[in-house]
Structure 1
């Protein structure tokens, strides 16, 4: 029983004993119709079905005692027949014991759903639309209540709408894996009003597709919050027709106002004005997605280790997003040698950091080996330290 926000201690203790016995292999589920143990018979609020349900959730489904007691407030059964069939279907479809425990704990009602009439048709539908078995496990594990949604009235039309937005079935699968809530929520609330806002502001279909495909979580905002973010990005100087607009929108939606202000403060400690922060954000929105500690570490390295003016970084904010140990330090070690020998100029630093590995080796290492033979070994050493 659950009283005034507390778990019934008798049921919790029973479930804990059941868990210990299950792990030792000494527990068998009580037969349907069996009498509860004396501990439960002492409670006038306890019932035989709930006793059976709690033990089943612990022993067969792998729930913790507390989770089992909580779930037993939402479902109750006396026979393992239907739950056993459900668990058999989930195992057959590739769900691990841990994943089953998570799904059942968050959506206990799945145990009472008909495997053949309710669950299997939904799983087969997703499979027919390009979801692999592992994709289905991933999506359902992320949003177990998907299994409660109507196939014909919700799941099919919702996936059709996502396909319409991203144009290809495989992209709809990818978008759904990144944000399973898009499959679960009513598109009339989650997607349609926000897509309309983007279109009204001149965001082209290709950029809307990019948002849905890669940044679906931004649509979890309310329509009012979403519209406010769109207006804020426009006020920062982004053109809705450009891809940078949707990137900035994703970053803005991922930051609270206090977090945004704190990051302005971090850059301010290195001499950037608010206008320079805004300019850097327009050039490379991801510079505001970096953590405060990452910003501090990268700025400290460039200013105090490389001796650069901090405003040099404001002109090239893309470097803020790069890995300090796997990209910046190894490549800057090479660049510093080249700089000391007068073989490169400071303005080439950003290029050396952002080019692909093969081009960096070709343009900043091998072509200078006659004048600086230590470069390759130096670079390998620094990369080894980063691995």
Structure 2
């Protein structure tokens, strides 16, 4: 029954982990970056609205154009009336522009809320909890999702809970001493003592599934996850907590047996679980469907197992997504055998959009004139950012070739794109003397090719 624990147990030094704490700056950065799922109802807007939104965000909040463009893919507006009213309300309640920028980055739809009827009542409700202007601004800027809650008990409890997590001490406020809330704050305190960072505690709070509820079930789940050797300071610890909390021992054993029937060993399953805990969440039908779809792509059983061991997240790709991926690569001129080779080497290829793949292929093969065979050998190039990595580095290579400093055609694609930034600088930039400032400008985005 407890193969969950037996296949991955290692010793855990709990006393050392009690001293683990994450700084406030890390918490701020983590929340500014996280919650990419913040608005499932957003759709891509017309180009004109997007351009206005980008300009507004840059001018009103001082955001970079790139960040503004990212936000504009989640929310847009035709004029500045509504967003102005939201920004003015926040500023009048003590929010600084740096805090507002973090809030908008994490929760863009705030800018299209009605300031008077939606946002203001929430701010007033939080102030009624005893929050000063500075405290309110600090908490909301760290956890903007609080503004999604409805005015009432849900919003108030959420605020109290967030405030409690942020406290330096371990004392529990009086409002949390009754009912379910008592168990939740007790469980959060246990996780804090283990060293779980604040940003991961917040993710547990925000999640619809609450593995921090209850007492006996929480204790049992936590023991299993700790005994398996998951590091409490890492996100995979929380992922494992979710999975084990939601599934009975019998269900877990059944999922393991499904994978064993498809060719995985039990050790393989637990090794993959440690890499990606959600591996055990999929139904037998979904698992079998993914295997069958990969067979239709030309992969034999051994290759399918290899791909999923390397990149288990591929199992969540839909049949349509996988087959579209095949069509995209074939449409670019690759054979099905070449596609199979690329997927074996870099399974992440499943996840990229046709538009992204085409842009990178056009640049690498047609503009830079690397042969398609070079891409087949190093398919990981499709995973690099075109704007941040591929184009800047290739600009340097083109400049060196034009000056006769690189002869005999392009260097190998791996020596240009796969190496680290430091290796690239040492290999192609730092030895060029007077050209170093010009080449560095290309890498930092100050050069237009």
Q: Which TM-score band (shorter chain)?
A: 0.5 to 0.7
Q: Could you tell me how far apart the structure 1 residues matched to 2:375 and 2:420 are?
A: 20
Residue of structure 2 equivalent to 1:313:
375
Other-structure match for 1:215: 276
Aligned-residue offset at 1:115: 3.4
* Deviation (angstroms), 1:385: 4.3
Deviations 1:168-211 (A, max 9, x none): 4437x531434663154114366443334445634574x64553
Residue 339 of structure 2 corresponds to 277
Match of 2:191 in 1: 126
- Output the TM-score relative to the length of structure 2: 0.55
Pair 1:226-2:292 in alignment: no
Measure the CA separation in 1 of the matches of 2:352 and 2:290: 19
Change (3 A) 1:320 1:186: same
CA distance in 2 between partners of 1:215 and 1:330 (Å)? 33
Q: Deviations over 1:229-262 (max 9, x none)?
A: 35766872474898754234322x2321112222
Listed one character per residue, the Cα deviations across residues 100-150 of structure 1 (whole Å, up to 9, x for unaligned) are xxxxxxxxxx9983433x333322333344324442222121235335x43
Structure 1: distance between partners of 2:125 and 2:157: 24
The one-character-per-residue Cα deviations of 1:298-343 (angstroms, maximum 9, x if unpaired) are: 0010122112333331222111111111111111122234445344
Tell me: CA distance 1:330–1:18, structure 2 relative to 1, closer, same or farther (3 Å). Answer: closer
Q: Of 204, 215, 220, which residue of structure 2 is paired with 1:157?
A: 220
Aligned to 2:350: 288
1:383 corresponds to: 444
Asked if 1:136 corresponds to 2:208, the answer is: no
Tell me, in whole angstroms, the C-alpha distance in 2 between the residues paired with 1:243 and 1:376: 45
- Give 2:422's aligned residue: 358
Task: Please say if 1:113 is aligned against 2:174.
Answer: no
Q: SS of 2:352's equivalent? A: coil
> Is the counterpart of residue 335 in structure 1 residue 401 in structure 2?
no
Comparing 19-28 and 375-384, the one that deviates more? 19-28
Gaps of 5+ in 2: 1-114, 129-145, 168-175
Higher relative contact order (CA 8 A, sep 6+): 2
The answer to whether structure 1 residue 94 and structure 2 residue 155 are counterparts is no
Query: The residue matched to 1:384 in structure 2 has which SS?
Result: coil
Q: Please state if 1:300 is matched with 2:366.
A: no
- Post-superposition Cα deviations, 1:8-28, rounded to whole Å, max 9, x if no partner, equal xxxxxxxx9996884695999
Q: What is the aligned counterpart of 2:313 among 242, 250, 254?
A: 250
Task: State the partner residue of 2:387.
Answer: 325
Partner of 1:41: none
Moved over 6 A (4+): 16-21, 26-29, 240-243
CA distance in 1, matches of 2:148, 2:346: 47
The partner residue of 2:210 within 145, 152, 160 is 145
Task: In structure 1, list runs of 5 or more residues that go unmatched.
Answer: 1-15, 30-59, 69-79, 97-109
Cα 1:187–1:324 change in 2 (3 A) is farther
Indicate the residue corresponding to 1:13 in structure 2. Answer: none
Deviations 1:341-380 (A, max 9, x none): 344654622222111111111122234x16xx53652343
Q: Distance in 1 between matches of 2:394 and 2:222?
A: 47
Q: Please give the alpha-carbon distance, in whole angstroms, between the structure 1 residues aligned to 2:270 and 2:202.
A: 25
The structure-2 alpha-carbon separation of the partners of 1:317 and 1:204, relative to structure 1 and needing over 3 Å to count, comes to: farther
* Alignment partners' CA distance in 1, 2:156 and 2:119: 25
Q: How many residues align?
A: 304
- Looking at structure 2, the residues matched to 290 and 298 of structure 1 have their Cα atoms a distance apart, in angstroms, of 11
What is the CA RMSD across the aligned residues, in angstroms? 4.3
